[in-house]
Amino acid sequence: MPQLSLHTPLGEITISEEDGAIVSLDWGRGSDQESTPLLREARDQLHDYFDGKRVSFQLPLAPHGTPYQRRVWAALVAIPAGETRSYLDIAREVASVPRAVGQANGANPIPILIPCHRVVGANGALGGYSGGDGPSTKRYLLDLEARALNQPSPAQGTLL
């Protein structure tokens, strides 16, 4: 599976491609580096994101997961940059419960591109994050998007 690593303000991340779509974004450097046109485009879009030049992505995504997880991840992609939704909001949208949404959120294989960082607790608390350095990474991503959009950062609540 072709993969390409890149340096970001959050450390190295590795994007992987399968059958012409991005299937994962992992924290750290991948062992097998193989550049493809899609991976180079993803790298360029991610660099623009971290430089504050973009807040959304135009890339084919094909995350591996259950049908339920893919429904949750589709709901995450629909959250506009600079906004957040609660686990309860997403649960209502996919006819589920917040805990199951949290589990699907934590299993997201393509963080940032599928913006699981935009999901917060019902009371506005930041909540957890399974990537990078956890909640501080989540805060960084939300603040980055807010700066790119020139607006206050959402979810000003405390870290859990």
Catalytic machinery residues? 116
Question: Cβ(31)–Cβ(44) under 8 Å?
Answer: no
Rounded to 5 degrees, φ, ψ at 44 are -65, -40
Residue 27, Cβ density class (10 Å: 0-12 exposed, 13-18 middle, ≥19 buried): middle
State the DSSP H helix or E strand holding residue 46, giving kind and residue range, or none if neither. helix 37-50
Structure tokens at 116: 């699981």
* DSSP secondary structure letter of residue 126: -
